[in-house]
Amino acid sequence: MSGLAAPSKLSLAAMVVVFLLGVAGSAHGLERLVSSNSNKPCKQMTLYYHDTLYDGGNNTANATSSGVTKPTALSTSRSKNTTYFGMLAVFNDPMTVGKAMPAAGEEPAAHAQGFYFYDKQEEQNAWFGFSIVFNSTAHKGTLNLMGADIMSAKTRDISVVGGTGDFFMARGVATLSTDALVGLYYFRLRMDIKLYECYV
Ligand SMILES: *[C@@H]1O[C@H](CO)[C@@H](O)[C@H](O)[C@H]1NC(C)=O
Ligand SMILES: *[C@@H]1O[C@H](CO)[C@@H](O)[C@H](O)[C@H]1NC(C)=O
Ligand SMILES: *[C@@H]1O[C@H](CO)[C@@H](O)[C@H](O)[C@H]1NC(C)=O
Ligand SMILES: *[C@@H]1O[C@H](CO)[C@@H](O)[C@H](O)[C@H]1NC(C)=O
């Protein structure tokens, strides 16, 4: 009896080992791909970022962004030049593939979640830190971006410093340009995102 049991235990153990190796292979099988040419990102996409700022009145339902700092004497005096020095805004803004805002009830391609603050007295200038959160059939995961938004420049680059999920360990550069500016409470940025390090 024990003579029979021993080999079947052994083959069961072997099967478990093979199974575990197989699981490990598929769970950790992503391979690092690093672009060797700045013209050839390993992944790229363009998304539009819609920032609807709370106007202090009754757009609470539509606003996806809000100033969260109490204005200081400095920021209010500078705001005459609309530089808003020292103002910090927190946002959960929709991002879309086309320029149009998502229709009511429609899921955007992604959400940008994070903050920007204004950091220059002489002219409007900002700094961004946020995650692009994807939760669609096309993509699940995040890209994490940060950097100076030199608003006087037609285009400015910020860094893609990391990612999760479909964008596991991603790195790259996002080129921002102001695509629309409507009054004081809405602006749209075009973001051309190029990844130079991908795991595929
Ligand atoms: C609220 O919205 C109404 C209708 O759009 C507008 O007439 C009114 O001026 C708004 N009030 C404030 C405080 O923004
Ligand atoms: C909210 O947005 C909808 C369309 O996107 C617009 O019709 C409505 O007037 C907006 N409401 C406020 C309070 O801004
Ligand atoms: C604010 O704007 C006024 C008028 O354009 C200008 O004279 C002044 O230098 C500006 N202030 C700063 C700090 O840039
Ligand atoms: C992601 O989408 C699924 C399906 O629509 C939903 O059930 C889930 O709550 C979403 N997760 C987040 C973090 O939004």
Closest ligand 3 atom to residue 122 Cα is 14
| Ligand nearest to the CA of residue 56, numbered in listed order | 1
Separation of CA 62 and ligand 2 centre (Å): 6
Separation of CA 129 and ligand 3 centre (Å): 28
At residue 23, the pLDDT reads 45
pLDDT along the chain (200 residues), means of 10: 46 47 57 96 98 94 94 71 87 98 93 96 92 96 97 96 98 98 95 97
Separation of CA 135 and ligand 4 centre (Å): 6
Closest ligand 2 atom to residue 101 Cα is 5
> 43: which residues sit within 8 A by CB, 6+ positions away?
170, 172, 194, 195, 198
Domain residue ranges in the chain? 1-30, 33-199
Q: Check residue 109 and report its DSSP letter.
A: S
**Contact yes or no for 140/134 (Cβ under 8 A):** yes
Q: Residue 128 carries which side chain, given as an amino acid letter?
A: F
d(CA 159, CA 145): 6
Separation of CA 162 and ligand 4 centre (Å): 22
Please name the helix (run of DSSP H) or strand (run of DSSP E) that holds residue 2, with its range, or none: helix 2-27
At residue 11, the pLDDT reads 52
pTM above 0.85, yes or no: no
At residue 33, the pLDDT reads 97
Strands (DSSP E) along 53-170, which ranges?
A: 65-67, 88-96, 110-118, 126-135, 140-149, 156-165
> Among 51, 59, 64, which is best to mutate for testing ligand 2, by the most ligand atoms less than 8 A from CB?
59
Residue 88 φ then ψ, to 5°: -115, 130
Please tell me the residue having the least CA distance from ligand 3 atom 3.
81
Closest ligand 2 atom to residue 104 Cα is 5
| CATH class label, 33-199 | mainly beta
d(CA 111, CA 52): 13
